[in-house]
Amino acid sequence: MTENTITRPGVRRIIGVDFDFGALKSAGPRYWAFVSLLITVIGLGVLAWGAALANGGSVMAMRDSYPWGLWFTNYMYYVGLSAGGLVVYASVHLFNAKQFEPLSRLAVLQAGVLVMLALLGIITDMERPWRAVWMLLTPNPSSPFVYTGSAANIYMLICFIDLWILMTGKGGHKLAHRMTLIALPFAIYLHTTTAFVLALNKSRELWNTAVMVPIFLTSATASGIALLLIVAYLMQRFDVMRFKPSMFRSLSTLLSTVIIIDLFLLAVEILTVFWPTAAKPGHALRLAEFFSGPYALAFVPVLVLGIGAFSLLAGSRTRHLPAVQITAAAMYVVAIFLKRYSLMAMGFAIDPLGQYSPPYLPSLTEFLIAAGLLGLGVLIVTLSAKVLPLAVPEHEAHEPAAAEPSLEGPAPANPPALEAG
């Protein structure tokens, strides 16, 4: 690694990337108060993980009937959220969607950090993480975890390499295009194998469905796009990056399209389970727990929030309003987290012997570990917003007004001015 001082004060070039450390010195007290809060949350997470290593499963709410807990819910959730960043990034290089080009660096950063959090969640669940090397040396080829774990590691590396290429400009658009061709199949492979962790369990009836893979892909893409939209607004609100209103309109149109596909697939699965000539007693009995039993508190909001988010974005006259876009995106991000919890619970609500299991609620230790990992991800993005060149230079993102592609038809007659958040 080489390090050279750039003419601008506070900027250092490391591995070809200009790190603006001077921006940290000029950061205000509110910025550092937020960073301090994140460091505190991370510290509590480290302490909670230490308690888990020292005391084992006694400080966890997981039990024989619920061997997977919050860590696995978050693994599915973070892996899924990473999909939105790649979809937006890939659309720039594969489909020439130039309106999303200003988001490309931010999208790739978001994808890489989220997959990293998913992998760290697996490590925190291990009572002896230092023995994880044996999983690499003696893999079980019949276990889906071998494939989804290796795919997550490779995909994370691809994301960070992509980010380096975008920030340094090495290889130009040709290399970025080739990296997209590599990243996209790995992303599909990652999300598919993660869904297969559930779908290939024939003893867990609600998991054992071929529709699990497309449902996982659509919900992952929708939630990832929703999160990217929220992060983009935050970056604009704090003057880190500037975006055109047309970009947010296109992003919200894309989000509404994927949401309705996701809701359709979920409705098809529910209809198949309950339809009189198709219903299997085991399937119908288990899924009923998520409509009228104690699990309904997690699953019914998935439908309410999902339909509500689509309804907000369905109107072409209101879709361009920032408040509507942010509200709908936030609703779907929450909906997919509840959906991931419900997916995890669907396999354990009633065990293969027909015995009912009370709902799982994470312990304080599990919650603090999860909060610490989330705090770490937010801290990385917060520091990156100050230090890394995430904003795409105008000469790279320039697009003539007449050539700007639109996903929703003509823009309003009097488009709103560039919002600050």
Q: The CATH number of the domain where 214 resides is what?
A: 1.20.1630.10
**57-66, 104-113, 289-298, 307-316: lowest mean pLDDT where?**
57-66
**Are the beta carbons of 75 and 116 closer than 8 angstroms?**
no
C-alpha separations of 190 from 37, 115, 155 in Å: 33, 10, 8
Task: Tell me the pLDDT tens digit for each residue of 135-153.
Answer: 778 888 877 788 888 888 8
Say how many domains are in the chain. 1
φ and ψ at 264, to 5 degrees?
Answer: -65, -45
Whether the predicted pLDDT of 179 surpasses 90? no
Tell me the mean pLDDT in the region 110-118: 94
Output the pTM of the full model.
Answer: 0.87
Take residue 393 and report the two structure tokens written for it. Answer: 């230079």
Asked if the structure places residue 415 within a domain, the reply is no
**Domain assignment of residue 340, yes or no:** yes
Does a structural domain hold residue 60? yes
In this structure, what are the phi and psi dihedrals at residue 258, rounded to the nearest 5 degrees? -70, -35
- The reply to whether 4 falls in a domain is no
pLDDT band at 8 (very low <50, low <70, confident <90, very high): low
Assess whether pLDDT exceeds 90 at residue 302. yes
Task: Give domain status of residue 414, yes or no.
Answer: no
pLDDT at 3 over 50: no
CB 421 within 8 A of CB 233: yes
Predicted pLDDT of residue 395: 58
Q: Which 3-state string (H, E, C) describes 201-256?
A: CCCCCCCCCCCHHHHHHHHHHHHHHHHHHHHHHHHHHCCCCCCCHHHHHHHHHHHH
% pLDDT > 70, the chain: 91
257 assigned to some structural domain: yes
Residue 346: inside a domain, yes or no? yes
Q: Which amino acid is at 36?
A: S
Q: Is residue 78 assigned to a domain?
A: yes
Domain that holds residue 64: 11-392
Residue 84 near residue 221, CB atoms below 8 Å: yes
Higher-confidence residue of 83 and 403: namely 83
| pLDDT number for residue 183 | 86
Position 35 confidence tier, pLDDT thresholds 50, 70, 90: very high
pLDDT in tens, 365-397: 999 999 999 999 999 999 999 999 988 876 555
Q: In one letter, which amino acid is 60?
A: M
Beta strands in 45-102 (DSSP E): none
**What's the rounded mean pLDDT across residues 338-356?**
89
Q: Would you say 106 and 390 are in contact if contact means Cβ atoms under 8 Å apart? A: yes
Query: What pLDDT is recorded for position 281?
Result: 82
Does residue 87 register a pLDDT over 50?
A: yes
The tens digit of pLDDT for each residue in 157-175 reads 999 999 999 888 887 788 8
Place of tokens 């658009």: 173
d(CA 225, CA 231): 10
Contacts made by residues 240-245, CB under 8 angstroms, sequence distance 24+: 240/385, 240/386, 240/390, 240/391, 241/102, 241/106, 241/390, 241/391, 242/102, 242/391, 242/418, 243/102, 243/103, 243/418, 244/99, 244/102, 244/418, 245/320, 245/415, 245/416, 245/417, 245/418, 245/419
165 alpha carbon, distance to own chain's centre: 22
The larger pLDDT score, comparing residue 229 to residue 88, is at 229
Q: What is the mean pLDDT of residues 199-211?
A: 85
- Residue 420, pLDDT > 60, answer no
